[in-house]
Structure 1
Amino acid sequence: IEVKVGDSIEIVRFFHCYKRGVDRVFVDHPMFLEKVWGKTGSKIYGPKAGQDYLDNELRFSLLCQAALEAPRVLNLNCSKYFSGPYGEDVLFIANDWHTALIPCYLKSMYQSRGIYLNAKVAFCIHNIAYQGRFTFSDFPLLNLPDEFRGSFDFIDGHEKPVKGRKINWMKAGILESDRVVTVSPYYAQELVSAVDKGVELDNVLRKTTITGIVNGMDTQEWNPATDKYTDVKYDITTVMDAKPLLKEALQAAVGLPVDRKIPLIGFIGRLEEQKGSDILVAAIHKFIGLDVQIVVLGTGKKKFEQEIEQLEVLYPNKAKGVA
Structure 2
Amino acid sequence: MMNILFVAAEAAPFAKVGGLGDVVGALPWALKTAHPEWDIRLVLPLHPTVDVGRWGAQPLTAFTIAHRNGPITAEIYHTEHRGLEVYFVTGGPVLAVPGVYSPDPRADAVKYAFFSLATLALARYLNWQPDILHAHDWHTALAVHALVARRPYDAFFAATRTVLTVHNLPYMGAASPWLLEAFGLPPAPLESGLPPWAQTMPLPLGLAAADAITTVSPTYAREMLTPAFGRGLEDFLKTRRERLWGILNGLDTDLWNPSTDPALDVRYTASTLALRERNAEALRQEVGLPQPEGRMPLVGLVSRLTEQKGVDVVAEALRLLADSPWQAVLLGTGEPQWEDALRQLEVGFPDRVRAVLRYDDGLARRIYASADVLMVPSRYEPCGLAQMIAMRYGAVPVATETGGLADTVRDVDLSRRSTGFLLPEATPKALAFALRRAFARWADRRRWQALQRRGMAEDFSWDKPAQAYARLYARLLAPAPDP
* TM-score, with structure 2 as normaliser: 0.55
1:22 aligns with 2:122: no
Matched residues in 2 for 1:305 and 1:180: separation? 35
Match of 1:64 in 2: 116
The farther-off stretch of 308-317 and 112-121 is 308-317
User: Residue 274 of structure 1: SS of its match in structure 2?
Assistant: coil
CA contact (8 A) 2:97 2:108 kept: no
Match of 1:169 in 2: 202
Matched residues in 2 for 1:149 and 1:276: separation? 39
Report the alpha carbon displacement of residue 317 of structure 1 after superposing the two structures with TM.
2.6
Match of 1:77 in 2: none
Match of 2:169 in 1: 128
Report the alpha carbon displacement of residue 122 of structure 1 after superposing the two structures with TM.
0.8
Amino acid at match of 2:74: V
After superposition, the CA RMSD in angstroms is 2.6
Amino acid at match of 2:97: K
CA contact (8 A) 1:94 1:122 kept: yes
Match of 2:316 in 1: 282
Report the alpha carbon displacement of residue 4 of structure 1 after superposing the two structures with TM.
2.3
Match of 1:195 in 2: 227
Match of 1:299 in 2: 333
More helix, by proportion:
2
Matched residues in 1 for 2:113 and 2:176: separation? 16
Report the alpha carbon displacement of residue 16 of structure 1 after superposing the two structures with TM.
3.0
- Please point out which of 245, 263, 268 is paired with 2:297: 263
User: Residue 310 of structure 1: SS of its match in structure 2?
Assistant: helix
Amino acid at match of 1:270: R
Residues 11 and 178 (structure 1), Cα distance of their counterparts in 2 relative to 1, 3 Å cut:
same
- The one-character-per-residue Cα deviations of 1:238-267 (angstroms, maximum 9, x if unpaired) are 2x1221122222222333224472211112
- Please point out which of 204, 213, 216 is paired with 1:183: 216
CA contact (8 A) 1:65 1:102 kept: yes
- The one-character-per-residue Cα deviations of 1:251-295 (angstroms, maximum 9, x if unpaired) are 223332244722111122232233323322321222245321222
Equivalent runs, 1:30-69 vs 2, <5 Å: 30-36=92-98, 40=99, 44-47=100-103, 52-69=104-121
Matched residues in 2 for 1:320 and 1:94: separation? 40
- The one-character-per-residue Cα deviations of 1:23-61 (angstroms, maximum 9, x if unpaired) are 33332234333432xxx4xxx4333xxxx3332221110
Match of 1:96 in 2: 137
Matched residues in 2 for 1:153 and 1:139: separation? 16
CA contact (8 A) 1:104 1:148 kept: no
CA contact (8 A) 1:139 1:149 kept: no
Amino acid at match of 1:186: T
Matched residues in 2 for 1:45 and 1:307: separation? 26
Q: Could you tell me which runs of 5 or more consecutive residues in structure 2 were left unpaired when the two chains were aligned.
A: 1-62, 359-483
Report the alpha carbon displacement of residue 305 of structure 1 after superposing the two structures with TM.
1.9
Residues 224 and 14 (structure 1), Cα distance of their counterparts in 2 relative to 1, 3 Å cut:
farther
Match of 1:80 in 2: none
Equivalent runs, 1:113-124 vs 2, <5 Å: 113-124=154-165
Report the alpha carbon displacement of residue 134 of structure 1 after superposing the two structures with TM.
1.7
Match of 1:160 in 2: none
1:140 aligns with 2:155: no
Amino acid at match of 2:102: G
Amino acid at match of 1:55: A
* TM-score, with structure 1 as normaliser: 0.80
Amino acid at match of 2:233: L
The answer to which structure, 1 or 2, has the higher relative contact order (CA under 8 A, 6+ apart) is 2
Match of 1:222 in 2: 256
Matched residues in 2 for 1:5 and 1:289: separation? 64
When the two structures are aligned, how many residues end up with a matched partner? Answer: 292
1:252 aligns with 2:285: yes
CA contact (8 A) 1:264 1:293 kept: yes
Report the alpha carbon displacement of residue 231 of structure 1 after superposing the two structures with TM.
2.6
User: Residue 304 of structure 1: SS of its match in structure 2?
Assistant: helix
Report the alpha carbon displacement of residue 69 of structure 1 after superposing the two structures with TM.
3.1
Report the alpha carbon displacement of residue 234 of structure 1 after superposing the two structures with TM.
1.7
User: Residue 143 of structure 2: SS of its match in structure 1?
Assistant: helix
Report the alpha carbon displacement of residue 17 of structure 1 after superposing the two structures with TM.
2.9
Report the alpha carbon displacement of residue 10 of structure 1 after superposing the two structures with TM.
1.4
The farther-off stretch of 207-216 and 142-151 is 142-151
The farther-off stretch of 243-252 and 25-34 is 25-34
Residues 124 and 27 (structure 1), Cα distance of their counterparts in 2 relative to 1, 3 Å cut:
same
Report the alpha carbon displacement of residue 179 of structure 1 after superposing the two structures with TM.
0.3
User: Residue 167 of structure 1: SS of its match in structure 2?
Assistant: coil
Q: Could you tell me which runs of 5 or more consecutive residues in structure 1 were left unpaired when the two chains were aligned.
A: 75-84, 157-164
Matched residues in 1 for 2:94 and 2:257: separation? 34
Matched residues in 2 for 1:188 and 1:153: separation? 18
Amino acid at match of 1:316: P
Matched residues in 1 for 2:109 and 2:213: separation? 22
After the TM superposition, list the runs of 4 or more consecutive aligned residues in structure 1 that deviate by more than 6 angstroms: none
Report the alpha carbon displacement of residue 166 of structure 1 after superposing the two structures with TM.
6.5
Matched residues in 2 for 1:60 and 1:22: separation? 23
The farther-off stretch of 181-190 and 229-238 is 229-238
CA contact (8 A) 1:57 1:142 kept: no
Equivalent runs, 1:309-320 vs 2, <5 Å: 309-320=343-354
